[in-house]
Amino acid sequence: MKKYTVWKHIMLCGAAGFSLTVPLAYAQAIPAAAKMRPQVIVLTAFPPEWQAWTVQKSFQHQVLHVPGLITPLICDSKGVCVTETGEGEINAAVTVTSLVKDTALDVKKTIFIRSGIAGGVDEENSALGSVYINNWIISWAFGHHYLSDKKQLAWSPPGCTDYAVPGHCENYTRNIMENLAYKINPALLNMAVNASAHVALDNSVEAKKLDKIFGISAAPKVMVGATITGNDFWIGKENQAIAEQIVHLYTHGKTTYTNTAMEDLGDVAALSRFGLADHYLSIRGISDVDVPPPGKTEEEIWKTGDLYASALAERNAVIVTEAVIARVLQDAA
């Protein structure tokens, strides 16, 4: 058994399409042996990401209605489950906390995988449809965003909470009071990277056209980088520069900013409160580039709509996530 692996799934009922609703009075008395122990829980944010998994008939095997979730937890016969959290850090944190605290579940050794789409950087090698297995989860919002004297966007980090503790102001990792930066468990990250090393990602004519607009000639591929989490939609080179600055500061230059999303920090911050942050992976397919294409302004993009390859990004995120899940199940066997 590898260090990151999970307990084997224990079935509550062998019937296909099983649905469990636990009355409150009974919930407190569920014996440990009867609890459901998912090997993997995949977290999706909004309907297109959720539907990319629900179309698979294997997830009709078992359904668990968990208080606090906006959709049921649907599972296959191997103990792999999927749910939809809703968009944003708050929805993600509420969902993950509900899963951890539910009395019908035991997730002490479950691997949580956030799988979905993300905004990408203006980088020649980062084609639309590429997938990042993120090595750091970074906060976008916790800091001071303001207009400089030159009326340009600017940012400074939050104030230190305790200057009396040596090194405290420089240690951004897993500060549970501020939730600024989380480093993904290296063993889990390496497993995911190795598991997806030879996967074949899809491409599309539409994505190739958008890549050409941005001067990207590379094909979609699997890469590693940092994701930054915020609840707002932004576009522009100034914001990209701020994201790069935030990631560089919080990780002490150990990684680079590669994609932005809205849920990951809520996921891992909630897990960290229960000692489960090392059980988390973030897998993101690039659906768009967070700067306007050459010759366009931010205002023009907001008026006409961003240039998206979301269907391709969702499909490739699922491909990589499935490869990682297969390795988790293999190592747990």
Query: In 215-290, which residue ranges form alpha helices assigned H by DSSP?
Result: 237-250, 264-273
Report the length, in residues, of the chain. Answer: 333
Superfamily of domain 35-332: Nucleoside phosphorylase domain (3.40.50.1580)
Handedness of CA 254, 257, 262, 264 (dihedral sign): negative
pLDDT for the residue 320: 98
The pLDDT of residue 303 is 72
DSSP 279: G
Write down the number of H helices and E strands in the chain.
9, 13
Exposure string of 255-273, with b = 16+ CB inside 10 Å and e = fewer, is bbbbbbbbbbbbbbbbbbe
Splitting the chain (333 residues) into consecutive groups of 10 residues, what average pLDDT does each group show?
A: 38 35 41 85 97 94 95 97 98 98 97 97 93 97 89 85 56 75 97 97 94 91 97 88 94 94 97 96 96 83 76 97 98 90
DSSP 156-172: EPPPPS-TTSTTGGG--
Q: CB neighbours of 300 closer than 8 A, spacing ≥ 6?
A: 292
Residue-level pLDDT at 248: 93
For residue 168, what pLDDT is reported? Answer: 59
Q: Which secondary-structure segment (H or E) carries 116? A: strand 111-120
Q: Which of 67, 53, 58, 60 is nearest to 18 (CA)?
A: 60
What residue spans of 38-111 are helical by DSSP H? Answer: 47-54, 89-101
Question: Nearest 5°: CA angle at 255, between 249 and 261?
Answer: 85
**Residue ranges covered by each domain of the chain:** 35-332
pLDDT score at 204: 94
- Which pLDDT score, from 0 to 100, does residue 147 have? 93
- Under a CB-based contact definition with an 8 Å cutoff, are residues 114 and 263 in contact? yes
pLDDT of residue 160: 66
What's the pLDDT score for residue 166?
Answer: 54
Strand partners, 259: 120, 227
Residues 5, 328 contacting (CB under 8 angstroms)? yes
- Given this model, what pLDDT does residue 157 score? 86
